[in-house]
Amino acid sequence: MPTESGADAMMPDLVQMLLDAPAPAPELSEIGRVAEVGDGIAVVTGLARALADELVEFASGVRGIVFDLEPGRLGVVLLGPSEAISLGEDVRRTNRVISVPVGPALLGRVVDALGRPRDDKGPVGASMIHPIEAEAPDILHRSAVHRPLATGLKAIDATVPVGLGQRQLIIGDRQTGKTSIAVDAILNQRETGVLCIYCAIGQRGDAVAKVIGALHDADMMKNTVVIAAGDEDAPGLAYIAPYGAMSVAESFAAKGRDVLVVMDDLTHHAHAYRELSLLLRRPPGREAFPGDIFYVHARLLERAGQFTQSGGGGSITVLPVVETQAENLSAYIPTNLISITDGQIYLSPRLVQKNQFPAVDLGVSVSRVGGKAQSRAFRAVAGNLRVTLSQFEELEEFARFGTRLDDRTRARLQRGAAVRAALRQPERDPVSAAVQLSVLLAAMEGLFDGMSEAKVATSMTAIRVAIEADDGGIGARIASNEKLAEEDRTWTLDTARRVVKAAGHGADT
């Protein structure tokens, strides 16, 4: 008679163990239905327990954020194409809020608002995710802004300085160079160790591609994260993009790093939020924006700052960009952002017409914090620079009427024109602090008086070459926040005079 094998003998025991084991707990899942679909939004019924800002997933794979909680219905902002969703489609809760990948794996990558790659380099591979919404750090975890953020632009570093941890608004009409200033500020961080995040909100694809190309050409992409929510994407992605950028910045700042975030631009962000709110039947207010638009931007920008060691020790500097129409600074969104931020850099279309780039209007631009972080060497130049230019602009208006001018007034006009020409700077060409200081000192001391614009440009180039070859230690003293000594001033001016004379430039007759 055949004997029973060991495996066959174990089978009854295994079956008995399975029969004696406790039954698995039932898995409860709430399923809702799509009642309405709009451009970027959906109305869902049947999810009575859903929470505000919760992430929900549609049967088609599109995800959305619960925005409005109303009896019997939910207003959901879609994070994908609304064309993919059909009426009656199943909707499931995820029991989590919208989050994005963070960490060093994002450096050098181009991702969308959800952290998905858009650069054909494969998965991001981030090991951590953070919610896009976070409370702003409290006052005990903040310290005063005390370190400068050099942009490499003479018109900004000398007159409208920005400090690490500051929120400085870049504002102006279309085609005035707002993005160029922001990108130049990023390019100037190549040797500073500051990590950068460029967040494109509602921008055209070719415009974002130009920025990425400039970052690659300057070898700055390795220290930069590009987050793009283009004009072809869902408005929900444009809405969450800057919040995701801030979460990425917070992950770096928590490890003691300094981060520069450019939000280009918050006008498109406000328009996307207005579109979503009106489709969800939220009551419109001024300029058809919902009443909470101020809070939308305030809670975003309040997350920036210089943090104490207990708060991570890093800093988040934000350069939000906003577009005006016909120089209207009193419009709803510009006034909101001016009141939220720590100053503004105003780019004037009138200066653009005069071929003055960067077109920074020093009469309207102001930095409420950065002056405290500005190098002491720059402070010695900045005050006189503003006065000289303001007097020049007033005299220039009178001179237009053909008034006879005395010699003193003509000298002021020459000096002002020379200083304004010295502030000109081509895009994608930031310069060091020592070069900026040398050029501005030369202009203020009259070395460029009476020169044509072309001669001023070539003189500035010659001074830059000489100072970059040997700055006499001025760059190190500026970095250590030392006051500009008289011998440094004399050496700089002597160098500038020698270079200008060698170039054969003088006043035009």
pLDDT in tens, 350-381: 999 989 999 999 989 999 998 889 988 888 88
Does residue 336 sit in the same domain as residue 433? no
Please report the sign of the dihedral spanned by the C-alpha atoms of residue 330, residue 331, residue 334, residue 340.
positive
Residue 403 predicted with pLDDT over 70: no
Among 328, 358, 373, residue at a domain's last position? 373
18 within domain boundaries: no
Does residue 59 sit in the same domain as residue 199? no
For residue 344, the SS3 value is strand
Residue 30 predicted with pLDDT over 90: no
Cα distance between residue 196 and residue 261, in whole Å: 6
Over range 92-112, report the average pLDDT: 95
Among 354, 373, 392, residue at a domain's last position? 373
| 70-74, 199-203, 453-457, 478-482: the lowest-pLDDT one | 478-482
Does residue 398 sit in the same domain as residue 469? yes
What's the confidence (pLDDT) of residue 383? 75
Provide the CA 262 distance to its chain's centre, in angstroms: 1
Token pair, residue 322, equals 């906003």
Would residue 368 show up in a list of annotated catalytic residues for this protein?
Answer: yes
What's the confidence (pLDDT) of residue 126? 87
| Structure confidence at residue 449 as a pLDDT band (50, 70, 90) | very high
What's the confidence (pLDDT) of residue 10? 60
Does residue 91 sit in the same domain as residue 104? no
Does residue 235 sit in the same domain as residue 285? yes
Asked if residue 283 lies in contact with residue 293, where contact means CB atoms within 8 angstroms, the answer is no
Does residue 158 sit in the same domain as residue 274? yes
Residue 206 predicted with pLDDT over 80: yes
Over range 499-505, report the average pLDDT: 81
Does residue 318 sit in the same domain as residue 423? no
Does residue 351 sit in the same domain as residue 391? no
Does residue 78 sit in the same domain as residue 151? no
Cα distance between residue 292 and residue 74, in whole Å: 19
Pairing of strands 315-323, 258-264: parallel
93 within domain boundaries: yes
Token pair, residue 22, equals 């406790």
Cα distance between residue 282 and residue 82, in whole Å: 20
Q: Is the backbone peptide bond immediately before 101 cis, with ω within 30 degrees of 0? A: no
Q: Higher-confidence residue: 451 or 26?
A: 451
Q: Higher-confidence residue: 424 or 3?
A: 424
123: CATH: 3.40.50.300
What's the confidence (pLDDT) of residue 1? 45
Residue 236 predicted with pLDDT over 80: yes
397: CATH: 1.20.150.20
Cα distance between residue 82 and residue 5, in whole Å: 61
Over range 70-78, report the average pLDDT: 94
> What residue numbers does the annotated binding site for ATP cover?
172-179
Phi, psi of 327 (to 5 degrees): 60, 30
What's the confidence (pLDDT) of residue 509? 46
Does residue 283 sit in the same domain as residue 361? yes
Please report, rounded to a whole number, the percentage of residues in the chain having pLDDT higher than 70. Answer: 96
57 within domain boundaries: yes
DSSP H helix total and E strand total for the chain: 16, 18
> What residue numbers does the annotated binding site cover?
172-179
Q: Is the backbone peptide bond immediately before 342 cis, with ω within 30 degrees of 0? A: no
Among 316, 343, 373, residue at a domain's last position? 373
Residue 396 predicted with pLDDT over 50: yes
Does residue 410 sit in the same domain as residue 369? no
399 within domain boundaries: yes
Does residue 360 sit in the same domain as residue 440? no
22 within domain boundaries: no
Mean pLDDT score of the chain: 91
Asked if residue 45 lies in contact with residue 33, where contact means CB atoms within 8 angstroms, the answer is yes
Residue 327 predicted with pLDDT over 80: yes
What's the confidence (pLDDT) of residue 406? 82
How many residues are there in the chain?
Answer: 509
Catalytic residue among 33, 147, 368, 497: 368
Domain that holds residue 138: 100-373
237 within domain boundaries: yes
| Domain count of the fold of the chain | 3
Phi, psi of 256 (to 5 degrees): 85, 10
Pairing of strands 142-143, 305-307: antiparallel
Cα distance between residue 182 and residue 210, in whole Å: 13
6 within domain boundaries: no
Cα distance between residue 135 and residue 300, in whole Å: 9
341 within domain boundaries: yes
pLDDT tens column, 111-166: 999 999 999 899 998 889 999 999 999 999 999 999 999 999 999 999 999 999 99
Residue 9 predicted with pLDDT over 60: no
| Structure confidence at residue 484 as a pLDDT band (50, 70, 90) | confident
